[in-house]
């Protein structure tokens, strides 16, 4: 192996070449910079050799070099980092939004992998896996002792490869199922109808997000048509993702105007992105839910819709990540994530560290029903006048006399307030028209 002094010398020469300035008037300053660079590289070489030879446990040169590179990047800001081959591969899976796998959403329960839900039209769904199934073995190897991440890594693999999983299902004998891995697309968009309101939840921004959003909107429009009151776009706890997808999602709701601008170290590399004509929601009212977990790409969407007064933001202050990271591939199937720019909302505000303030602040809360059985009403008073139109409507009860349970969305206080606001806007518009 080459001596470290030799490597340091080559590094110093390379650094000198990169820092060279052709202008003669800067020669002295450049020479001083070259000397300082060589001194620092020599210091790094000394530390490297001492750790290599004297650390309490043997550490490979690769581990030390990668740790040093990662330390250099993480010292810059919380979002710059080094991606080794595994991290780089996982990152590409996350941003691409598809991978070779079985098609199940899973969690961990008592050391076993629990099926939360099989994804439609995937090997797991076609094989009849059910929510609540427990996966005990993967290709005969026990799951017990693995972390959830390790188990998921084993379930993913090349498309068309087989995996035998052992299932324990309630009220049934344990059984094995052999599944053939297929291309699985990560669902970043989920939607449903809440009466006359379209609810769309965006969990992350990957390459599938815009397509999923357009499909959700078209499905909602086909179901309700002109009876649709509006949309709730839920960006709570969305950590962000691809900048291009955030721009495309914002463009879905905007007819014109700037969406976002980015400014880096070189002013000449600043960029501005504008919306193209066409609002897929036909101008219907929008409520966007945000909270402290809404970050980066989520804040781009929320900021653009707020600045253009296209939506009302409801919830709590967002996270405040106003920087752009670029993935730069390096040799050896590794890469680095480097912060290269800050982004700004259409009004020119940077949300770095400050976040986006909602238009209506609604903290997370729990709805509890109060006992109203002791409350007195007019009808309870002695000698109260009768209603000339009849005896009045009775309190709605179930067959067993208990109060009717509230719908599931009422358990989500912020979502419930968003629905109330949309219905209030619709009612007000109807009153104005009439």
Which candidate, 324, 344, 352, places its Cα nearest to that of 261?
Answer: 344
pLDDT of residue 131: 85
**Segment among 20-29, 161-170, 266-275 with least mean pLDDT:** 20-29
Annotated catalytic, 90?
no
Q: Which of 81, 321, 323, 412 is catalytic?
A: 321
Instruction: Assess whether pLDDT exceeds 60 at residue 381.
Output: yes
pLDDT of residue 155: 92
DSSP 191-258: EEEETTEEEEEE--BSTTHHHHHHHHHHHHHHHHGGG--EEEEE-TT---B-HHHHHHHHHHH-SSSE
pLDDT of residue 220: 96
**Segment among 159-168, 357-366, 369-378 with least mean pLDDT:** 369-378
Q: Integer distance in angstroms from the first to the last C-alpha of the chain?
A: 86
- Mean pLDDT within 45-58: 92
Instruction: Assess whether pLDDT exceeds 50 at residue 15.
Output: no
Distance CA 167, CA 129 (A): 9
CA distances from 398 to 373, 391, 404 (A): 16, 20, 6
Chain centroid to Cα 111, Å, comes to 26
Q: What is the percent of the chain where pLDDT is above 90?
A: 50
Q: Which of 307, 318, 323, 412 is catalytic?
A: 307
Instruction: Assess whether pLDDT exceeds 70 at residue 204.
Output: yes
Token pair, residue 303, equals 């900021």
Q: What is the pTM of this model?
A: 0.74
User: Could you read off the pLDDT of 234-282 as tens digits, one per residue?
Assistant: 999 898 889 999 999 999 999 999 999 999 988 888 899 999 999 999 9
Is residue 319 exposed (0-12), middle (13-18) or buried (19+ Cβ within 10 Å)?
buried
pLDDT of residue 184: 81
Instruction: Assess whether pLDDT exceeds 70 at residue 5.
Output: no
Sequence-ordered list of residues with C-beta below 8 angstroms from that of 302, at least 6 positions apart, any chain: 235, 288, 290, 294, 311, 313, 318, 356
Distance CA 42, CA 13 (A): 12
Distance CA 215, CA 222 (A): 11
| DSSP H or E segment with residue 142 | strand 141-142
Determine how many CB atoms are found less than 10 A away from the CB of residue 312: 19
Sequence-ordered list of residues with C-beta below 8 angstroms from that of 371, at least 6 positions apart, any chain: none
Distance CA 162, CA 156 (A): 10
Higher per-residue confidence, 161 vs 36: 161
pLDDT of residue 180: 94
pLDDT of residue 36: 84
294 close to 230: Cβ distance less than 8 angstroms: no
- Mean pLDDT within 125-153: 89
Higher per-residue confidence, 259 vs 17: 259
Q: Which of 296, 298, 318, 323 is catalytic?
A: 296
Residue appearing with tokens 């060279």: 20
Rounded to the nearest 5 degrees, what angle is found at the Cα of 111, between the Cα atoms of 93 and 140? Answer: 75
Annotated catalytic, 296?
yes
| DSSP H or E segment with residue 261 | strand 258-264
Annotated catalytic, 307?
yes
Residue appearing with tokens 């070449």: 17
């Amino acid at each position: 192996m080459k001596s470290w002094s030799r490597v340091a010398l080559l590094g110093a020469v390379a650094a000198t070449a990169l820092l060279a300035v052709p202008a003669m008037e800067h020669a002295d300053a450049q020479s001083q910079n070259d000397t300082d660079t060589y001194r620092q590289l020599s210091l790094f070489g000394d530390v490297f050799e001492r750790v290599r030879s004297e650390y309490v446990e043997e550490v490979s040169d690769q581990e030390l070099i990668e740790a040093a590179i990662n330390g250099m990047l993480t010292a810059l800001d919380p979002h710059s980092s080094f991606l080794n081959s595994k991290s780089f591969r996982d990152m590409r899976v996350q941003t691409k939004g598809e991978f070779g796998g079985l098609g199940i959403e899973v969690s961990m329960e008592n050391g076993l992998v629990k099926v939360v839900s099989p994804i439609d039209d995937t090997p797991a769904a076609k094989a009849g896996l059910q929510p609540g199934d427990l996966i005990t073995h993967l290709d005969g190897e026990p799951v017990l002792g693995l972390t959830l991440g390790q188990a998921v890594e084993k379930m993913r693999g090349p498309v068309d490869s087989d995996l035998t999983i052992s299932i324990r299902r309630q009220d049934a004998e344990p059984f094995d199922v052999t599944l053939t891995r297929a291309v699985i697309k990560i669902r970043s968009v989920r939607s449903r109808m809440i009466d006359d309101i379209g609810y769309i939840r965006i969990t992350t921004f990957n390459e599938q997000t815009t397509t999923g959003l357009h499909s959700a909107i078209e499905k909602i429009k086909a179901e309700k048509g002109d009876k649709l009151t509006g949309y709730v776009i839920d960006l709570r706890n969305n950590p962000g993702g691809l900048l291009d997808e955030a721009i495309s999602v914002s463009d879905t709701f905007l007819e014109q105007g700037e969406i976002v601008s980015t400014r880096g170290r070189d002013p000449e590399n600043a960029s501005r992105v504008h919306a193209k004509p066409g609002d897929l929601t036909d101008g219907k009212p929008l409520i966007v839910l945000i909270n402290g977990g809404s970050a980066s790409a989520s804040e781009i969407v929320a900021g653009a819709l707020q600045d253009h007064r296209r939506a009302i933001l409801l919830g709590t202050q967002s996270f405040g990540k106003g920087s752009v990271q670029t993935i730069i591939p390096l040799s050896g199937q590794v890469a680095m994530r480097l912060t290269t720019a800050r982004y700004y909302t259409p009004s020119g505000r940077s949300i770095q560290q400050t976040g986006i303030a909602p238009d209506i602040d609604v903290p997370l809360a729990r709805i509890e029903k109060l006992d109203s059985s002791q409350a007195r009403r007019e009808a309870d008073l002695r000698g109260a006048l009768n209603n000339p139109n009849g005896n009045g409507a009775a309190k709605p009860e179930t067959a067993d006399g208990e109060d009717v349970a509230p719908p599931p969305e009422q358990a989500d206080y912020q979502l419930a307030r968003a629905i109330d606001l949309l219905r209030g806007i619709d009612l007000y518009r109807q009153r104005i028209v009439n």
